[in-house]
Amino acid sequence: MQERFMGDPSSCELKGCWAKEGEAAGRPVGPDPLDPTDLNGAHFDPEVYLDKLRRECPLAQLMDSETDMVRQIRALDSDMQTLVYENYNKFISATDTIRKMKNDFRKMEDEMDRLATNMAVITDFSARISATLQDRHERITKLAGVHALLRKLQFLFELPSRLTKCVELGAYGQAVRYQGRARAVLQQYQHLPSFRAIQDDCQVITARLAQQLRQRFREGGSGAPEQAECVELLLALGEPAEELCEEFLAHARGRLEEELSALEAELGPSPPAPDVLEFTDRGGSGFVGGLCQVAAAYQELFAAQGPAGAEKLAAFARELGSRYFALVERRLAQEQGGSDNSLLVRALDRFHRRLRAPGALLAAAGLAEAATEIVERVARERLGHHLQSLQAAFLGCLTDVRQALAAPRIAGKEGPGLAELLANVATSILSHIKASLASVHLFTAKEVSFSNKPYFRGEFCSQGVREGLIVGFIRSMCQTAQSFCDSPGEKGGATPPALLLLLSRLCLDYETATISYILTLTDEQFLVQDQSPVTPVSTLCAEARETARRLLTHYVKVQGLVISQMLRKSVETRDWLSSLEPRNVRAVMKRVVEDTTAIDVQVGLLYEEGVRKAQSSDSSKRTFSVYSSSRQQGRYAPSYTPSAPMDTNLLSNIQKLFSERIDVFSPVEFNKVSVLTGIIKISLKTLLECVRLRTFGRFGLQQVQVDCHFLQLYLWRFVADEELVHLLLDEVVASAALRCPDPVPMEPSVVEVICERG
């Protein structure tokens, strides 16, 4: 009855009722293990449970509880029935299995009984046979021992004839083995006359055998394995090891020197040098292979010599290895002129791989380390060669630019524009840099044997490629570009101004993007594992920007000097006191405007416009006259009035104190307006200084007035601030008026008519 009522109490609504009562009473909600009303508890009492159920639950809950319990009881009955059926099938299967096992074990017991009976019979027969043959077995054992002794004695008595026959047939190894087997016995029983005679005969034959082996060894016609066999046999015959060691190394030296002589003959002046890969293959298979055979044979034969013998072999290998390395370096030096590293790297890889075996056998000789040093030295030389190639390529690009700039002037036709030339130069240099990076990247390829060395994982990438090649070339390019900024009497004087402008833009582009791109490409291709300090990108960019600034400043000076020379000659070669009344603008002023316009177009091909100050509405109509402004009237009017109270020079100097100072050689910015402003300032300042050194007549002053007005009509639009042109041209006219005995200016309307007509 208790099992029937042990169902899931969570489905009964009574649980919620009791839980609420427990919460109201302040007791814990969890089940009490000693509660007799807990269906799942160990102390469940059906009577108490039913009594409490009748007392505390209404009729509806009692009916629901009954229904739920009936459902659970049926479910449990069904589960129990299913479990009984399943276990019944298993019980039946187990019963059948046990029945079969009983039958099988009964058969096995019968067979074991028969086996025990047979073993007992066999044991009995074996015991009877052993008892029967015991006496014969002892006699057979004695006879076998006597037979073995007789065979040994027969071998000893036949030993001289056997040794003689082996020597005649050239079976030296077999003869030495016979001698080794009999040596201990003959020495033990040499006091017996018969054994003494055999020993004497064997010693004579052995001496003749040793002599033939030495003769064969000294002839040196056989290879290293045969000679090693001769030495091994001589050592087995008891020959002195020290003497054999010296002779072995001497013969090995002769063979290896022949290999070195053959390699040296290939490098001679008369026959053409073999391919570097073929050369290293021959050296590896000939000299290095022979050295490995010698080292392995020496260590096997003379292992008992200890450290002294090992040092002797190491000295032998160092001496011959140094000669081989010298020949290899001579051949590798002939490959330094090429631009392709693929064949060279393959040759170095095979050279380095070949020396692994002797390097492991002869660690004390340092052959592997020396080979690695040669590879590292060749890699450094290749980096230097690629740096020189990049520098030569850059100079070649500059030569092509010079020719392209000079060709139109010679042939009278229009050549390529500066923008196209700049793009060609930048593309060519970048392609050369990428080609150099790809070429030196072969030294760090995974399949190359020496690429895992510390040098190629660290210093080669950081200090060699990044700093030595890329950073070195960028700095070399900047230095080469700066060399064009020399004084006019030196290299810079013959430099085309367009080349200066192109180089300045190239350096500025490098500062903006190219340097960062190249160094990022280098760092990605060469995973730098070295902690050595490297040049920051910002430092290189600053150097490139400074180079671009110097080039552009020098371009301004050169172009300003060209225009200044025209103005200076036009002022110095004219007689201003005897000048006629001006009717036209002088041709030099038109040339100045034309050249300035050409420079504006040229600079605009590579640089942006720049920022200008707001232009006044009358910039193109302003005329230069001593009466055209209040400032000039205050400056010059007293000169034309007999009762002038003040000196005109004093008024001019006072006016200069309040005028804005003009910095002629101010820093140039990277835009067209700044460049043209600098050139015009230099040109007009030169004109001013030349005017101050001349004396002008009335018409000379008027001619200066016309020329300055013409310049003002066109030059104001090129500069950042038109007031700058006005101030300088004011100074020119004012300076000419101060140096004129009869300063009578031309009417502004007449000046305008002449300039418009000009």
> What does the pLDDT read at residue 481?
92
Asked, for residue 476, whether it belongs to a domain, the answer is yes
Q: Please tell me whether residues 433 and 543 are part of one structural domain.
A: yes
Q: Which H or E run contains 698? A: helix 698-715
Q: How confident is the model at residue 275 (pLDDT cuts 50, 70, 90)?
A: confident
Residues 532 and 475: beta-carbon distance below 8 Å: no
**Amino acid present at 114:** R
Rounded distance between C-alpha atoms, residue 630 and residue 530, angstroms: 73
Rounded distance between C-alpha atoms, residue 326 and residue 352, angstroms: 15
Asked, for residue 281, whether it belongs to a domain, the answer is yes
Task: Return the minimum-mean-pLDDT range out of 7-11, 157-161, 670-674.
Answer: 7-11
> What does the pLDDT read at residue 31?
58
pTM listed for this prediction: 0.67
Q: Please tell me whether residues 724 and 752 are part of one structural domain.
A: yes
pLDDT surpassing 60 at residue 25:
no
Asked, for residue 371, whether it belongs to a domain, the answer is no
Instruction: Please report where in the chains the tokens 């009278």 appear, as a residue.
Output: 412
pLDDT surpassing 50 at residue 554:
yes
* Residue after which a domain boundary falls, among 491, 521, 555: 555
* DSSP assignment letter at 573: T
Structural domain for 508, as ranges: 384-555
- pLDDT over 70 percentage in the chain: 71
List Cα–Cα distances, 480 to 483, 485, 500, in angstroms: 5, 10, 11
DSSP 74-101: HHHHHHHHHHHHHHHHHHHHHHHHHHHH
pLDDT surpassing 60 at residue 659:
no
Q: Which H or E run contains 370? A: helix 367-411
Task: Return the minimum-mean-pLDDT range out of 24-33, 48-57, 497-506.
Answer: 24-33
**Which residues lie below 8 Å from residue 487, measured CB to CB, with a gap of 6+?**
493
Range list of β-strands (E), 346-462: none
- pLDDT, tens only, 422-434: 999 999 999 999 9
pLDDT surpassing 80 at residue 317:
yes
Reduce the secondary structure of 155-224 to three states and give it as a string.
Answer: HHHHHHHHHHHHHHHCCHHHHHHHHHHHHHHHHHCCCCHHHHHHHHHHHHHHHHHHHHHHHHHHHCCCCH
Q: Please tell me whether residues 670 and 602 are part of one structural domain.
A: yes
Which two structure tokens, joined as six digits, stand for 491? Answer: 């290299």
Q: What is the mean pLDDT of the chain?
A: 78
Asked, for residue 544, whether it belongs to a domain, the answer is yes
Asked, for residue 356, whether it belongs to a domain, the answer is yes
**Which residues lie below 8 Å from residue 707, measured CB to CB, with a gap of 6+?**
585, 586, 589
**Amino acid present at 716:** W
Highest average pLDDT, of 244-248, 313-317, 359-363, comes from 313-317
- pLDDT, tens only, 361-419: 777 788 888 899 999 999 999 999 999 999 999 999 999 998 888 875 554 555 578 89
Q: Please tell me whether residues 730 and 661 are part of one structural domain.
A: yes
Q: Please tell me whether residues 505 and 585 are part of one structural domain.
A: no
Q: Please tell me whether residues 593 and 541 are part of one structural domain.
A: no
Residues 627 and 633: beta-carbon distance below 8 Å: yes
Q: Please tell me whether residues 280 and 359 are part of one structural domain.
A: yes
Mean pLDDT of 453-469: 89
* Residue after which a domain boundary falls, among 493, 520, 555: 555
Q: How confident is the model at residue 218 (pLDDT cuts 50, 70, 90)?
A: low
> What does the pLDDT read at residue 614?
64
Q: Which sign does the torsion angle of CA 57, 60, 63, 67 carry?
A: negative
Rounded distance between C-alpha atoms, residue 348 and residue 277, angstroms: 8
Residue 471 burial (10 A CB sphere; 0-12, 13-18, 19+): buried
Q: How confident is the model at residue 110 (pLDDT cuts 50, 70, 90)?
A: confident
Task: Return the minimum-mean-pLDDT range out of 103-107, 343-347, 553-557.
Answer: 103-107
Q: Please tell me whether residues 546 and 584 are part of one structural domain.
A: no
Task: Return the minimum-mean-pLDDT range out of 59-63, 169-173, 497-501.
Answer: 169-173
CB atoms within 10 A of CB 677: 23
Residue 645 burial (10 A CB sphere; 0-12, 13-18, 19+): exposed
Which two structure tokens, joined as six digits, stand for 635? Answer: 């400056």
Asked, for residue 46, whether it belongs to a domain, the answer is no
Q: Please tell me whether residues 454 and 528 are part of one structural domain.
A: yes
Distance of CA 325 to the CA centre of its chain: 28
- pLDDT, tens only, 577-634: 888 888 888 999 999 999 999 999 999 999 998 877 766 545 444 554 443 433 333 3
Q: Please tell me whether residues 541 and 408 are part of one structural domain.
A: yes
> What does the pLDDT read at residue 634?
34
pLDDT surpassing 70 at residue 477:
yes
Q: Which H or E run contains 579? A: none
Q: Which sign does the torsion angle of CA 590, 596, 600, 606 carry?
A: positive
Range list of β-strands (E), 580-690: none
Domain count, the chain: 3
Asked, for residue 3, whether it belongs to a domain, the answer is no
Rounded distance between C-alpha atoms, residue 496 and residue 541, angstroms: 25
* Residue after which a domain boundary falls, among 334, 365, 396: 365
**Amino acid present at 157:** F
Closest listed residue to residue 508, CA positions, set 555, 547, 559, 470:
547
CB atoms within 10 A of CB 640: 14
Asked, for residue 560, whether it belongs to a domain, the answer is no
Q: Please tell me whether residues 589 and 506 are part of one structural domain.
A: no
Q: Please tell me whether residues 282 and 349 are part of one structural domain.
A: yes
Rounded distance between C-alpha atoms, residue 206 and residue 166, angstroms: 11
Looking at per-residue confidence, does 547 or 296 come out higher? 547
Q: How far apart are the first and last CA of the chain?
A: 135
